[in-house]
Amino acid sequence: MTISYSRPYLYPKQLDAIFNDQRYSFIEASTKSGKTHGCIVWLVEQAIQGKRGQNYWWIAPVSSQAKIAYLRLKNSLRDFISQKLVKLNDTFLTIEFVFGGIIHFKSADKPDSLYGEDVYAAVIDEASRCKKDAWYAVRSTLTKTRGKIRIIGNVKGRLNWFYELARKAESGAPDMSYHKITAYDAVEAGVLDAAEIEDAKNNLPEAVFRELYEAEASESGSNPFGEDNIKACVREGLSTNVPVVFGVDVAKSIDYTVVVGLDYKCHVCYFDRFNNLPWDMTIQRILTAIDGAPALVDATGVGDPIVEALQKGSSYGSIEGFKFTRVNKQGLMQLLAVSIASQDVRIPDNPSFIYNELMTFEFEFTNFGVVYSAPTGYFDDCVMALALAIRKFQQPKSSWNFDKVNLYD
């Protein structure tokens, strides 16, 4: 059978990184730099040159990401589909070329399910977010076929198998090639807009920007604040000054209600953390703490009626609610990151809850943007309360009770 196929345009750095003779190619790349597109093209060419029934795999961290790649390829194969040269299975996410192999789009979430097949070529997408056991499983499927593999992703700290193997490839290990594609490479190739990259640089924490756009791992892994920056903000104990603003994160189920107060220097001078109290006692405890000072309170979910009750219980009218969304949470975390990087805020070494949560906090790049959260099994209530307090601190200071504030202590 004779078919007509023209390779889509790939810019030189894409081409060199993906279409090379090495069996293993490790590609650390900026977000939206074209690494996924280039590897889809590569895997298609591997499959159409294969024999009927041979397996070719696309592996993503979770099934929803695998489906995105499947739909991208499906939409690009309209001519093949109209000529009935491919068979599609939207349920199992497979694309079978009637004259070649079958491309399977799979999740790395359950590595044990990846064993058993013989695979003739594979791509591991977003490798820094895939489990190490998934890499072991995929590698085993290439044993009999000696198939090639392309391993691509954003940089996500240094403590992951992708980063370690990329360093091995970079040092010149046999059968391996290493490539880095930055946002500026993509701008030069016309794939990304320079103004958009500059906007990201101005609005994202430095550690986040360096990993997502410059493919440079930060010393602090995926911590958006930077461990050194956090340590530089630590002071001995709580400030003894009077609180001028408060941030309050309200407990949802198994987490904690946290109240953070800042003095006029933006130093933490009040801290309370508790859970498992009836709502009326929680409300009274918060009201007693803030004592009429301006406060920004988490009003998300169960926090909404709490804020209403706090506003009714305060005669000063200084309590404001803040409903978390993905977008405004990102802005709040960026504000906190800037405050920490510039050492505008001071946090106590004791109690150490704020410090510990800041050190374990992390970011992750998803299809919906940058997501900030505590790792599974950890809390971020102190981080949220501190960020809310800093946001309130940056609002007009006319609401401060200057009768209580000694600006010269």
* Residues 152 and 69 occupy one common structural domain: yes
Q: Is 406 within the bounds of a domain?
A: no
CATH assignment of the domain containing 72? 3.40.50.300
Q: Do 177 and 292 have their domain in common?
A: no
Are 313 and 247 contained in the same domain? Answer: yes
212 within some domain: no
Residues 186 and 257 grouped into a single domain: no
159: pLDDT confidence band, cut at 50, 70 and 90? confident
Q: How many whole angstroms separate alpha carbon 119 and alpha carbon 103? A: 10
Burial 181-213 (b: 16+ CB within 10 A, else e): bbbebbbebebbeeeebeebeeebbbbbbbbbb
In a domain, 404, yes or no: no
- Band (pLDDT 50/70/90 cuts) for residue 220 is low
pLDDT score of 408? 45
The β-bridge partners of 176 are 24
Residues 6+ apart with CB under 8 A from 114: 59, 106, 108, 134, 137, 138, 141
Same domain for 145 and 234, yes or no, is no
Do 168 and 297 reside in the same domain of the chain? no
| 337 lies in the same domain as 372 | yes
Q: In this predicted model, what pLDDT tens digit does every residue of 99-127 receive, in sequence order? A: 899 999 999 999 999 999 999 999 999 99
More confident residue, 253 or 217: 217
Residue 196 included in any domain: yes
Burial of 64 (0-12, 13-18, 19+ CB in 10 A): exposed
Domains: count for the chain: 2
- In tens, the pLDDT along 279-327 reads 899 999 999 999 889 999 999 887 788 898 898 877 555 899 999 988 8
Based on the fold, state whether residues 110 and 248 are members of the same structural domain. no
Same domain as 117, residue 266: no
Instruction: Count CA within 13 A, CB hemisphere, residue 336.
Output: 25
What is d(CA 358, CA 378) in angstroms, rounded to the nearest whole number?
A: 11
Number of Cβ within 10 Å of residue 91's Cβ equals 6
Residue 7 lies in a domain: no
167 & 313 share domain: no
Tens digits of per-residue pLDDT, 344-371?
A: 999 999 989 999 899 888 877 666 667 7
Same domain, 99 and 151: yes
Residue 38 has pLDDT above 90, yes or no: yes
Provide the residue range defining the domain that includes 142: 12-205
Local confidence band at 340 (pLDDT 50, 70, 90 cut-offs): very high
Mean pLDDT of the chain: 90
* Three-state secondary structure of the chain: CCCCCCCCCCCHHHHHHHCCCCCEEEEEECCCCCHHHHHHHHHHHHHHCCCCCCEEEEEECCHHHHHHHHHHHHHHCHHHHHCCCEEEECCCCEEEECCCCEEEEEECCCHHHHCCCCEEEEEECCHHHCCHHHHHHHHHHCCCCCCEEEEEECCCCCCCHHHHHHHHHHCCCCCEEEEEECHHHHHHCCCCCHHHHHHHHHHCCHHHHHHHHHCCCCCCCCCCCCHHHHHHCEECCCCCCCCCEEEEECCCCCCCEEEEEECCCCEEEEEEEECCCCHHHHHHHHHHHHCCCCEEEECCCCHHHHHHHHHHHCCCCCEEEECCCHHHHHHHHHHHHHHHHCCCCEEECCCCHHHHHHHHCEEEEECCEEEEECCCCCCCHHHHHHHHHHHHHCCCHHHCCCCCCCCCC
- The domain that holds 252 is classified in CATH as 3.30.420.240
Query: Is residue 210 situated within a structural domain?
Result: no
Q: Both tokens of residue 297? A: 């309170």
pLDDT at 406 over 60: no
121, 149 contact by CB (below 8 A): yes
